């Protein structure tokens, strides 16, 4: 279908007076502040631990892939490591940084919305819908950083399609590379869509501008050996990760159905704005990248463009005059109202769910479990003394500020190949850390990522003894293992 070559001069449905100008901007600003508050409060999950620990390890002079294993692109870790270098490696610094990113991106999303609809209320509805999607992941996470970068890259993609100049397409190439640095599968979606856009323009200058922006921004990857990147960023995710990940193709099918409906509606909307289809293809490609973790949380992060696309369609139907357009305007207002009601209701439920825990820590500056565990580790070890935490306690290295005796921050039987377990045993035998922390009844066991009784567990049982069990909320969750001295040393 041919898109209109210019944005229609007729605005979408709006309310009279200043509600179309200053007031929506104020509401967007208020919502952005509300995001920051709401995103501040959830407790960290393992994704947070991986992000914090990898960033902290970089500040200690370690290099991803070479010195510690990682199968995600390192942009998030290096960005957060820069924050740690300036402000100290603290949980608070990471949260403040994430909050500022959310605030900034809220206005970036609003700027993108203004390219599609003149309705201030619709822009606010998009922000409310985005808040629901954003809350599916914690504030400090490579997933969240990639999500925020995708929104800015989406804005560049729409502008590149509208302007069709080499400068904008070079920027699109750089933006696609930026998303790739944050998370490779999200970046791949932008690279493919950007490539298709550049070819669709049918001007070699545009294509080479996109290729140049992309290539220059990806050049720093050359500091790593290509075979190392291939093994950890391509082979491992493709061969190991899908077999262990829990998947629900129903979510993928539901997402495809939503995008199909949007496409049909857009084809019948008389006033599609230029840039709709590139954004639609970005949403479709992002959906495809969730196949290995096709749950609601990952789908939500990939679907940030859907509210923008929907209200773009609605504005196209409701523009103009006539009885049909007036009916569309009323439907449009009802859609916005429903989004408001949903947002207020969901926000109220979230606040109530968090209310009880706010009494002890109203500003959520502490992480009790990890801080208590870190203190116990620090009491048993000297500064900079290596430890080992298994199977999935990546947070502990960051909160305790203790280095890992191995190059593996986690080790799961259904995710990692047997040679990794042998490598860990060799490293433990070489470093001989005095303290090992082993989690009991780990969540990764319940999710099917890991089974206890691995060769590493057997090694630990042979060379370590249980010195203490740490109980949290009256439930033993962690064992502190101390190395057994050889008979020759005990004599």
Q: Based on the fold, state whether residues 112 and 225 are members of the same structural domain.
A: yes
Distance CA(476)–CA(460), nearest Å, equals 19
Does this model's pTM top 0.75? My answer is yes
- Name which residue leads in pLDDT, 127 or 86: 86
The verdict on whether omega for the bond into residue 130 sits within 30 degrees of 0, i.e. cis, is no
Q: Based on the fold, state whether residues 202 and 337 are members of the same structural domain.
A: yes
Task: Choose one of 328, 358, 388: the last residue of a domain.
Answer: 358
Q: Based on the fold, state whether residues 347 and 418 are members of the same structural domain.
A: no
Whether the per-residue pLDDT at 429 is higher than 70: the answer is: yes
Per the prediction, the chain carries an average pLDDT of 81
Nearest to 465 by CA among 428, 423, 490, 436: 436
Distance CA(372)–CA(400), nearest Å, equals 9
The pLDDT of 394-415, averaged and rounded, is: 92
Q: Is residue 208 part of a domain?
A: yes
> Among 250-254, 288-292, 317-321, whose mean pLDDT is lowest?
317-321
Task: Choose one of 327, 358, 389: the last residue of a domain.
Answer: 358
Q: Is residue 4 part of a domain?
A: no
Q: How many residues does the chain have?
A: 491
The whole-number pLDDT of residue 474 equals 61
Q: Based on the fold, state whether residues 313 and 382 are members of the same structural domain.
A: no
* Secondary structure (3-state) at 476: strand
The whole-number pLDDT of residue 16 equals 45
* Count of domains forming the chain: 2
Task: Choose one of 307, 327, 358: the last residue of a domain.
Answer: 358
Residue 268 binned pLDDT confidence (cut-offs 50, 70, 90): confident
Q: Based on the fold, state whether residues 329 and 393 are members of the same structural domain.
A: no
Q: Is residue 84 part of a domain?
A: yes
Which two three-digit tokens encode residue 353?
A: 């769910």
Q: What angle do CA 71, 77, 78 make, to 5 degrees?
A: 120
What domain range includes position 215? 17-358
- Name which residue leads in pLDDT, 368 or 175: 175
Q: Based on the fold, state whether residues 396 and 337 are members of the same structural domain.
A: no
Q: Based on the fold, state whether residues 103 and 181 are members of the same structural domain.
A: yes
For 120-148, the pLDDT digits (tens) are: 777 877 888 887 787 777 888 898 899 99
Q: DSSP 3-state helix, strand, coil percentages of the chain (rounded to 5)?
A: 65, 5, 25
Q: Based on the fold, state whether residues 375 and 311 are members of the same structural domain.
A: no
Distance CA(299)–CA(176), nearest Å, equals 19
Q: Is residue 188 part of a domain?
A: yes
Nearest to 392 by CA among 410, 406, 374: 410
Please name the residues in contact with 204: beta carbons below 8 A apart, sequence gap of 6 or more.
Answer: none
Q: Based on the fold, state whether residues 177 and 256 are members of the same structural domain.
A: yes
For 311-369, the pLDDT digits (tens) are: 777 665 555 555 655 655 566 666 666 666 666 666 566 656 555 555 566 666 777 78
Q: Is residue 11 part of a domain?
A: no
Q: Is residue 2 part of a domain?
A: no
Q: Is residue 214 part of a domain?
A: yes
């Amino acid at each position: 279908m041919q898109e209109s070559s210019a944005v229609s001069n007729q605005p979408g449905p709006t309310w009279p007076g200043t509600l179309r100008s200053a007031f929506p901007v104020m509401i967007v600003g208020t919502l952005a502040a509300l995001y920051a508050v709401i995103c501040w409060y959830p407790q960290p999950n393992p994704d947070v631990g991986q992000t914090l620990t990898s960033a902290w390890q970089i500040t200690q002079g370690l290099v991803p892939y070479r010195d510690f294993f990682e199968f995600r692109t390192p942009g998030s870790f290096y960005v957060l490591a820069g924050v740690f270098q300036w402000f100290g490696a603290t949980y608070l610094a990471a949260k403040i940084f994430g909050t500022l990113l959310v605030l900034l991106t809220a206005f970036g999303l609003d700027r993108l919305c203004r390219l599609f609809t003149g309705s201030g209320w619709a822009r606010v509805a998009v922000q409310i819908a985005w808040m629901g999607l954003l809350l599916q992941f914690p504030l400090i996470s490579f997933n969240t950083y990639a999500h925020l970068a995708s929104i800015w890259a989406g804005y560049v993609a729409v502008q590149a399609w509208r302007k069709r100049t080499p400068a904008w397409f070079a920027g699109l190439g750089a933006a696609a590379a930026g998303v790739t640095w944050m998370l490779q599968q999200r970046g791949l979606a932008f690279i493919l869509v950007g490539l298709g856009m550049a070819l669709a323009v049918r001007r070699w200058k545009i294509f080479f501008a996109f290729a140049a922006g992309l290539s220059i921004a990806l050049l720093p990857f050359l500091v790593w050996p290509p075979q190392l990147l291939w093994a950890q960023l391509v082979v491992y995710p493709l061969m190991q990760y899908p077999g262990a990940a829990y998947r629900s193709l129903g979510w993928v099918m539901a997402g495809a159905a939503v995008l199909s409906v949007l496409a049909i509606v857009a084809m019948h909307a008389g006033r599609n704005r230029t840039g709709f289809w590139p954004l639609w293809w970005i949403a479709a490609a992002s959906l495809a990248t969730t196949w290995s973790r096709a749950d609601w949380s990952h789908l939500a992060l990939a679907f940030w463009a859907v509210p923008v696309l929907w209200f773009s369609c609605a504005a196209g139907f409701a523009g103009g005059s006539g009885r049909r357009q007036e009916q569309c305007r009323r439907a449009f207002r009802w859609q916005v109202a429903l989004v408001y009601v949903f947002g207020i209701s969901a926000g109220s439920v979230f606040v109530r769910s968090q209310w009880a825990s706010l009494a002890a820590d109203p500003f959520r500056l502490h992480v009790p479990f990890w801080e208590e565990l870190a203190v116990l580790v620090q009491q048993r070890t000297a500064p900079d003394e290596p430890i080992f935490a298994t199977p999935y306690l990546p947070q502990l290295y960051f909160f305790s500020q203790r280095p890992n005796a191995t190059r593996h921050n986690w080790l799961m039987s259904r995710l990692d190949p047997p040679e990794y377990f042998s490598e860990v045993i060799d490293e433990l035998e070489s470093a001989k850390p005095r303290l090992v922390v082993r989690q009991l009844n780990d969540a990764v066991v319940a999710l099917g990522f890991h089974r206890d009784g691995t060769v590493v567990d057997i090694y630990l049982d042979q060379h370590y003894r249980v010195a203490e069990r740490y109980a949290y909320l009256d439930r033993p969750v962690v064992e502190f293992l101390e190395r057994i001295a050889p008979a020759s040393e005990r004599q």
